[in-house]
Amino acid sequence: MIDKNLREDGEKAAREVKLLLLGAGESGKSTIVKQMKIIHEDGYSEEECRQYRAVVYSNTIQSIMAIVKAMGNLQIDFADPSRADDARQLFALSCTAEEQGVLPEDLSSVIRRLWADHGVQACFSRSREYQLNDSAAYYLNDLERIAQSDYIPTQQDVLRTRVKTTGIVETHFTFKDLHFKMFDVGGQRSERKKWIHCFEGVTAIIFCVALSAYDLVLAEDEEMNRMHESMKLFDSICNNKWFTDTSIILFLNKKDLFEEKITHSPLTICFPEYTGANKYEEAAGYIQSKFEDLNKRKDTKEIYTHFTCATDTKNVQFVFDAVTDDLFEEKITHSPLTICFPEYTGANKYEEAAGYIQSKFEDLNKRKDTKEIYTHFTCATDTKNVQFVFDAVTDVIIKNNLKDCGLF
């Protein structure tokens, strides 16, 4: 009985994956966590979405206020002088609205007029010169829908919300028969001292970088470029002695914003030595190389890099599927196949090791001349994989039946 319990505990531990989400502030970590809920836990219920309504309102109000405040610093005038009265109204009404978690009609009308002003739009186009939420345009462009009295935030609205993470947020989910524990830790400098409590027993670190932050400065230190801060932090994590055996997965996030921005805001703002084109592929590849070059143990430690858009559910789902495969391959590297097959001399890589196991089973067939084994690699908890494999199995059965009838 004790042996059985120990074996069950061992099997459970083997299936547990502890992921630590790290990165500088506003790199998209919390959005990744929200995506895990959408992808692996059936998303947000209507009631949960309702609870985000006040956050959407606050993000919208704070965004337009940030733009209007910046107009003074950047010496940009309203295209329509009467918008100055709207600006005064905005600041007069916003405090009460945020406290009550509402967006009254008079305030939404003020915001709508301000957002339509060409001076405000000119200031918005220079948003790299001040602090502005990435989702500002998303909410302000959809103000008519958001301002409806019966408004309920959509899953995408929830994904776009920005609330500074303080402390540690833990999320649990199951995927590919693995039990994941994901820890989202605040990225601002003041939050980083709390990370140490999450270090023990970590399977992998997902380090998030905002690609689009290459021309921005930190909210907490306006002398420090955000990309440089991310590189400094990544260096300290990647080469830390505590993470010698920990997989490092690099998410180069906000690729959509980066692709839009790079054509008019040169990469030399962040990397003066860059001589390539200000095109997405080349510039993104350069940033990737800058981060991967920080790895001082290239001979023993691999960085698994993925370009992501944390607000795109399909992209995150695709990338996380690849990440899980990365972790499996890393696991087999640390737990060699020779444990089961001492005679195995191949590499401890997924394809070669899986192929060897396949051959071991197929070699057991003593009637190879008359009996064929149809092999498929499956993940029984992945509906799409099972559906795809079952389609293939069905085709095999149909072909065999046609052969038996002399029709194939």
327-367 tens-digit pLDDT? 766 665 556 777 788 888 887 777 788 888 999 998 998 88
Residue 165 confidence class, pLDDT cut points 50, 70, 90: confident
How far is the C-alpha of 196 from the C-alpha of 209, rounded, in Å?
20
Q: Are 180 and 309 contained in the same domain?
A: yes
Residue range of the domain that includes 370 = 348-405
Q: Are 241 and 99 contained in the same domain?
A: no
Give the per-residue pLDDT at 226.
95
Q: Does residue 34 lie in a domain region? A: no
Q: Does residue 165 lie in a domain region? A: no
Residue 378 confidence class, pLDDT cut points 50, 70, 90: confident
Q: Are 190 and 221 contained in the same domain?
A: yes
Give the per-residue pLDDT at 210.
97
Q: Is the pLDDT of residue 191 over 70?
A: no
176 is in an annotated binding site: no
Helix (H, G, I), strand (E, B) or coil at 186: coil
Question: CATH no. for residue 139?
Answer: 1.10.400.10
Residues designated as active site:
26, 31, 162, 184, 188
In Å, what is the CA distance from 28 to each residue of 208, 309, 363? Answer: 7, 9, 48
How far is the C-alpha of 382 from the C-alpha of 390, rounded, in Å?
12
Q: Are 326 and 184 contained in the same domain?
A: yes
The rounded Cα 403 to chain-centroid distance in angstroms is 49
185 is in an annotated binding site: yes
381 is in an annotated binding site: no
96 is in an annotated binding site: no
Q: Which is more confidently placed, 371 or 28?
A: 28
Do 251 and 208 touch, CB atoms closer than 8 A? Answer: yes
Give the per-residue pLDDT at 334.
59
Closest CA to 329 of 385, 247, 384, 386: 247
Q: Is the pLDDT of residue 405 over 70?
A: no
Q: Does residue 147 lie in a domain region? A: yes
184 is in an annotated binding site: yes
Residue 408 confidence class, pLDDT cut points 50, 70, 90: low
Of 102, 127, 160, which marks where a domain is finished? 160
12 is in an annotated binding site: no
Question: CATH no. for residue 277?
Answer: 3.40.50.300
Q: Does residue 194 lie in a domain region? A: yes
* Token pair in block for residue 76: 């940009």
Q: Are 258 and 293 contained in the same domain?
A: yes
Phi, psi values for residue 326, rounded to 5°: -55, -45
217-227 tens-digit pLDDT? 887 788 899 99
Q: Are 380 and 271 contained in the same domain?
A: no
What rounded mean pLDDT belongs to the chain?
Answer: 87
Q: What is the pTM of this model?
A: 0.76
How far is the C-alpha of 39 from the C-alpha of 316, rounded, in Å?
9
| Overall domain count for the chain | 3
Cross-strand partners of 249: 206, 304
Give the per-residue pLDDT at 214.
97
Q: Does residue 253 lie in a domain region? A: yes
Q: Does residue 168 lie in a domain region? A: no
275 is in an annotated binding site: no
Q: Are 376 and 231 contained in the same domain?
A: no
pLDDT (mean) for 52-71: 98
Cross-strand partners of 389: none
Of 114, 139, 160, which marks where a domain is finished? 160
Of 97, 126, 160, which marks where a domain is finished? 160
Q: Are 212 and 120 contained in the same domain?
A: no
Q: Does residue 35 lie in a domain region? A: no
How far is the C-alpha of 345 from the C-alpha of 338, rounded, in Å?
8
Q: Is the pLDDT of residue 403 over 70?
A: no
Q: Are 189 and 267 contained in the same domain?
A: yes
Q: Are 208 and 250 contained in the same domain?
A: yes
How far is the C-alpha of 49 from the C-alpha of 28, rounded, in Å?
19
Q: Does residue 289 lie in a domain region? A: yes
Q: Are 205 and 59 contained in the same domain?
A: no
160 is in an annotated binding site: yes
Give the per-residue pLDDT at 49.
97
Q: Count the alpha carbons within 13 Å of 242 in the hemisphere toward its beta carbon.
A: 12
Q: Are 274 and 377 contained in the same domain?
A: no
232 is in an annotated binding site: no
